[in-house]
Amino acid sequence: MEKKVWDPSPPGSWSFDPPRDKDPVTGEDMEKIPFEEYCRRMFDPDKLWEKPEALKGWRHISSTMYILSPHVGATLGEFGAEVIKVEMPKLGDPMRHTSPFNEAYLWPETDHRPQVGTGMGFLHANDNKYFITLDYHAPEAKELYYDLIRISDSMAECYRPGTFYRWGIGYPQLKEVNPRLIYIYLGGFGNYGPRRYGGSYDILGQAVGGLAAITGWHEDFGGHPTKQTNWLIDWYSGLTGLIGVLAAAHYRRKTGLGTFIDLSQISCSTRATGYAFPLYGRFGVVRQRWGNWDTLLSVHGIIMTGRTDDPEHPNPQISVESRYVMVSAFQDDDFRELCYIIGRPDLWEKYSSARERVKPEAQIEIYRALEEWASDKSRSEVVEILNNAGLIAVPVFSAKDVYECEHFWERGTLRWIDDPIFGDVLVHGATVKMSETPPRVKWVWRPIGADNIRIYHELLGYPLPKLKELWEKGVI
C-alpha cells in the first residue's frame, strides 16, 4: 500500500477525527457502547497528555496579586496559554504568605530567602505560570513591559484604577503599543464611579455585593450572615472575567481589535443573588437569609443527624462535625415517600402541594420532623435508608470524604502531580471536562523570579549582561 504523506486520521488521534465511529485505540464501535462507557473514554483522564491544548500560542501577562486576577491567568494557563506572572522583585505576591492558620507552606519562595516558604493560599491561582519580576516604578520598567505586551494576547491587572496609567502602562497607552491586546482590570469597585479608589477583597465583595445578605441562618433563628468558604467571589469573578476575555478573543478574530474589560467583583456577587433584585424592585420585598433550607423547593436542604460514623476519630471534624446530610425530595412522590419513611404521613397530608411545602412555617415543621427522625441515626444510616428507598440524599463531605471518594479520582478531578520544584502535591485537575482539549495542571507555582532568564533572555532576547545590570539596579 502506498504510504500517505499526511494521514488525516492517524491512529490514536483524538482530535481530528470526530465523529468517532471507532475507538482510535481498540477499534471498538463507539456508537454501540453504553453511554457511560462512551463518556469514560471521551473524558479519560489517562489520555490527558495525549490531547492538544485549546489555547496553544496564546500569551497572557498577569500583573496580578491575590486570587481574583491571577485566576484569569491560571485558567488560561490550564488551557494551554503561556502565562507570565509579573511580581515585585523580592517581595512577590502578598498571597504567597497566606496560609490557613499559618500552617502549610512549601519551600522555597525565592533563592535569596531559602528559609521562607510560600503558603498554600497561593495554590491554584498561579499554576502553569512563568514567574518574572519587574519593579514598575523603575524608569526602565516601561520599555520592558511594552516589549512583553507587544507579543501578548491579553493581560490582567488589579492595581487601583489609574495606577498603571500613571506608570505609563495603562490601557490608553498599551492599546497604541498593541491594538490586539485584551486588557482586563479586575477589582472591587471598578474604574469609574464615586468609590472607584476603594480597595477590595473577596470578603468585601461578598459583604457589599449581596451574597452575605442571603447566606446563613435567619436572624430569627439567632443566625448571622455567613461567609462563603474560601473566597468564592475572587475565584468566580476571575472566571467571569475570563469569559469576557475569551469572548473578546472571538471578536478580535474578525476585527483584529482587543478590548478593555473593567470587571468589578462586587458586581459578580450581585449577579449571584437570584431573584433578590426583581423581587425587591417589583414588590419591595427584601430577600433574607434562609439557612440550610431552600426558598424555592422543599424538601431540599441539609439536616443534622444524631451522630457521625466515626465518633472515636481524634479529629473533631470527623468525630463531631461529619454528621450532616443533604436531603432532596421536593417532588410530590418523593416527598410522600419521605414522609412515610420518617413516620410522619400527617406531614404529607398537610403539605401535599409543592407550594404549601415551601412556605416558611411548613419548612420549619418538616425539617424539624426530619431532624427528629434522624437524631438517633448516624450519617451513613440516614443516607442509606433514604437511598435504599430510592430518594436522593447525599452526605455532607469533609475533605477526608472527598479524598476518599473514588468518584473524583476516577474522573481525574483529584490528582497527584509531581511538581518539578515542590514534589508531590495534590491538586484539583481538570475542573471542566473537555473531550478534545482538557485543561491540565503542570506545576503549582515557582519561586519569585524563577523564570526571569527564560522570559527576558530566551523570549525577549535581552542579553544577559543587560539583565544583570537590571537585576543589580533592583528592577527585576
List the interface residues with other proteins, window 362-381 (CB under 8 A).
none
Is residue 284 near other proteins by the rule CB under 8 A? yes
Contact 330, 297 (CB under 8 A): yes
Does 467 contact other proteins by CB under 8 A?
Answer: no
Q: How far apart are CA 378 and CA 319, in angstroms?
A: 11
With contact defined as beta carbons under 8 Å apart, do 308 and 379 qualify?
Answer: yes
Q: Is 428 in the site for other proteins (CB under 8 A)?
A: yes
Asked if 397 touches other proteins (CB under 8 A), the answer is: yes
341 binds other proteins (CB under 8 A): no
118 vs 456, beta carbon nearer other proteins: 118
For residue 123, report the phi and psi dihedrals to the nearest 5 degrees.
-65, 145
- Rounded to whole angstroms, how far apart are CA atoms 407 and 384? 18
| Residue closer to other proteins (CB basis): 416 or 458 | 416
Residue in 25, 354, 364, 464 binding other proteins, rule: CB under 8 A: 354
Interface with other proteins (CB under 8 A), residue from 25, 151, 434, 464: 434
Residues numbered 48 to 87 that lie near other proteins (CB under 8 A) are 52, 54-56, 75, 79
Query: What's the rounded Cα separation, in Å, for the pair 405 and 397?
Result: 9
Displacement of CA 251 from its chain's centroid (Å): 25
SS3 417: strand
Task: Tell me how far, at minimum, the Cβ of 359 lies from other proteins, in Å.
Answer: 5
C-beta of 220 vs 458, nearer to other proteins: 220
According to the binding rule CB under 8 A, does residue 358 interact with other proteins? yes
Nearer to other proteins, 2 or 406 (CB): 406
Instruction: Give 3 or 29: the residue with its C-beta nearer to other proteins.
Output: 29
Q: Under the criterion CB under 8 A, does residue 46 sit at the interface with other proteins? A: no
Q: Total residues contacting other proteins (rule CB under 8 A)?
A: 219
Residue given cell 484569569 in the structure block: 72
Q: Give the x/- contact pattern for other proteins in 3-42, rule: CB under 8 A.
A: ------------xx-xxx---------xx---xx-xxx-x
Give 295 or 380: the residue with its C-beta nearer to other proteins.
295
Q: Which of residues 157-216 bind other proteins (CB under 8 A)?
A: 160-163, 165-166, 170-172, 188-201, 203-204, 207-216
Q: Nine-digit cell at 221?
A: 433563628
Q: Which helix (H) or strand (E) holds 392?
A: strand 392-395
**Cβ-based nearer residue to other proteins, 428 or 457:** 428
Instruction: Classify the phi-psi angles of 116: left when phi > 0, otherwise alpha if psi is within -120 to 50, otherwise beta.
Output: beta
Instruction: Indicate which single residue of 391, 455, 459, 476 sits in contact with other proteins (rule: CB under 8 A).
Output: 391
Which of 86, 141, 148, 276 binds other proteins (CB under 8 A)? It is 276
Q: Which of 48, 88, 279, 385 contacts other proteins by CB under 8 A?
A: 279
Q: Are 394 and 326 in contact (CB under 8 A)?
A: yes
State yes or no: residue 348 binds other proteins (CB under 8 A).
no
Closest distance of CB 230 from other proteins, Å: 5
* Region binding other proteins by CB under 8 A among candidate stretches 1-9, 142-150, 282-290, 372-380: 282-290
- Cα–Cα distances in angstroms (integers) from residue 299 to residues 41, 287, 290, 306, 356, in the given order: 36, 20, 13, 19, 11
Among 177, 341, 396, 467, binds other proteins (CB under 8 A): 396
Please say which residue, 114 or 463, places its beta carbon nearer to other proteins. Answer: 114
Site for other proteins in 237-266 (CB under 8 A): 237, 239-244, 246-251, 253, 255, 257-266
The distance of closest approach from Cβ of residue 23 to other proteins in the complex, given in angstroms and rounded to an integer, is 12
Expressed in angstroms, the distance from the first to the final Cα of the chain is: 59
Q: How far apart are CA 421 and CA 444, in angstroms?
A: 9
Written as one string, the DSSP assignment of 147-199 is HHHHT-SEEEE-SSTTHHHHTT-SHHHHHHH-TT-EEEEEESS-SSSTTTT--
Cβ–Cβ < 8 Å for 405, 399: no
* Buried b or exposed e, range 92-121, using 16+ CB within 10 angstroms: bbebbbbbeeeeebbebbbeeeeeebbbbb
Residue position matching grid coordinates 427522625: 373
Query: Judged by CB under 8 A, which of 119, 174, 308, 448 binds other proteins?
Result: 119
The one among 286, 346, 376, 468 contacting other proteins by CB under 8 A = 286
The C-alpha atoms of residue 227 and residue 213 are separated, in whole angstroms, by 10
CB of 235 closer than 8 Å to CB of 67: yes
Enumerate residues 294-323 that contact other proteins by CB under 8 A.
295-298, 300-302, 304, 314-318, 320-322
